[in-house]
Amino acid sequence: MAQSESNGDNKKCQQAKEVQTHPVKEQLPGVQYCINSAPPWPEAVALGFQHYILTLGMTVLIPTIIVPQMGGGNAEKANMIQSLLFVSGLSTLLQSWFGTRLPTVVVGSYSYIIPTISIVQASRYSAYTDPYERFTVTIRGIQGALIISSCFQMIMGFFGFWRNATRFFSPLSLVPYVTFTGLGLYRLGFPMMAKCIEIGLPALIVMVFISLAKVLTSSTAYNHTPESTQTSCRTDRAGLISGAPWVYLPYPFQWGSPTFNSGEAFAMMAASFVSLFESTGTFYAAARYGSATPVPPSIISRGTGWMGVATFLNGMFGSVTGSTASVENAGLLALTRVGSRRVIQISAGFMIFFSVFGKFGALFASVPLPIIAALYCVFFGYVSSAGLGFLQFCNLNNFRTKFVLGFSFFLGISIPQYFSEYYHVKHESTSPRWLNDIVTVLCMSHTTVAALVAFILDLTLSREDDATKNDSGLQWWEKFTLYNADVRNNEFYALPCRLDELFPAL
């Protein structure tokens, strides 16, 4: 009896040894077209147009929120959208040529909304009674704050400060970082989709959205619904087609010379710091879905510097927000399994073209936001899973690993929720508004909070012994902390035409 039990135990042990976990993959398999490869031109153009359509969500949403508060009407909102789209296309090209060279799209950042609205509501603008005059003086104040904040990003990137910080990342600290790059934008997913659930939900299910929206509008399905529902659901209530000119070429300082205020500039710098975190998380996700190796710190820093250039262009052209790497477009890379740089450059061409020919661009920009939000639910989920993919390099049976992950995830949700609900109520009258804005912008960012908590916890525990390095994935990660440590980096991230001699990867 005892011998049979022993034989049974031996068989179980042998079966356990035969069961092996999935091997780790430094580059994601299953990608049809990686960064340097390109699909056939017809397919590339179609995919580029998809990326362009996806950029319209954030491009339309931010001016729609801010421009009416500034005193602007449909014409000013249309011009603002065209300017933001033009700068996004130009910045995407610059990022793909000289920045990280990843298949990332540069769009307006939601993180700048708090300091921007603070400028809009500043008391010095309340004396202006004419709406258009108030709009012009307000946008000039926003321009000045954006220009100063862009200098902060360029210094952090081009002078290597962000490079020195990202060298201390490990796969363990990157898990909550990249994951919350997607999860942190949950407000732009189902809550925005639910404003028009009858078209948002079908879009989420079948992903065929433009024609469905047009059918419901033309069939008068919303003629007798409340005004708020019609605004969210109908394609003819955005006011963009009527307000957009046939041809409009955005140009620098089109609303006048920028004005500067020190407090507002510091608040905007806090938003640019948050954007820096969000862009970095998106860079790691885009590299994964482009089947590239993890981005070296020097390339992250170079991309951050060019993101500062993008924000500077937004300030010059009078956009109402700074720039960031698009999370939703990184998710589209995963859905299509096409991580080609050429596709992203084609999408940038669409952005520039439709920003100049306003009527055509406004037609696509009038797609109801709940439909775009339905797509966000899918794409943000893909980016979040890119962060979870770094778990394959960590020891999940270690209590230290579990604590770092669990604690950073929990605080990444809990702290922003507190500041979202209570901060303004408790502290708005007890401290300067610009200081409130700085703290609020930093602490309401799920990505920033989760990344900082995980980063600090990971650094405070010893990394000297091999066991700790193995638990956090550092033994695998160390070769990716220096550009020259892996020959594949030249394939994915090297600058073209010997420009690496002018902008070396330090």
Is the pLDDT assigned to residue 227 strictly greater than 70?
A: no
| Crossing angle between the packed helical segments 297-317 and 131-158, to the nearest 10 degrees | 160
- Neighbouring-strand partners of residue 338: 33
Q: What is the mean pLDDT of residues 305-333?
A: 92
Question: Is the per-residue pLDDT at 4 higher than 70?
Answer: no
pLDDT tens by residue, 83-101: 999 999 999 999 999 999 9
pLDDT at 432: 76
Q: Residue 212: its pLDDT value, please?
A: 35
Q: What are phi and psi of 464, to 5 degrees?
A: -80, -40
63 vs 142: CA distance, rounded Å: 13
Query: For the purposes of burial, counting CB atoms within 10 Å of the CB of 392, is it exposed (0-12), middle (13-18) or buried (19 or more)?
Result: middle
What's the gap between Cα 208 and its chain centre?
Answer: 24
Give CA–CA dist 234/194, Å, rounded: 14
Q: Within 10 Å of residue 251's Cβ, how many Cβ atoms? A: 11
**Per-residue confidence at 245, pLDDT binned at 50, 70, 90?**
low
pLDDT at 491: 85
pLDDT in tens, 493-503: 888 765 555 54
CA distance 473 to 486: 17
Residue whose tokens read 């024609």? 211
Q: What is the pLDDT of residues 331-351, one digit of tens each?
A: 889 888 899 999 999 999 999
Taking 3-state DSSP, the helix, strand and coil percentages for the chain, each rounded to the nearest 5, stand at 70, 0, 25
Work out the burial of residue 439: count CB atoms within 10 Å of its CB; fewer than 13 is exposed, 13-18 middle, 19 or more buried.
middle
Length of the chain: 506
Angstrom distance (rounded) from CA 57 to CA 42:
24
Least confident of 316-330, 370-384, 442-456: 370-384
pLDDT level of residue 270 (50, 70, 90 thresholds): very high
Name 130's bridge partners: none
What integer best gives the mean pLDDT of the chain? 81
Q: What are phi and psi of 24, to 5 degrees?
A: -70, 150
Q: How confident is the model at residue 231 (pLDDT cuts 50, 70, 90)?
A: very low
Q: Per-residue pLDDT for 135 more than 50?
A: yes
* Residue 1 or 170, more confident: 170
Q: How far is the CA of 382 from the CAs of 333, 376, 388, 414, in angstroms? A: 9, 10, 10, 23
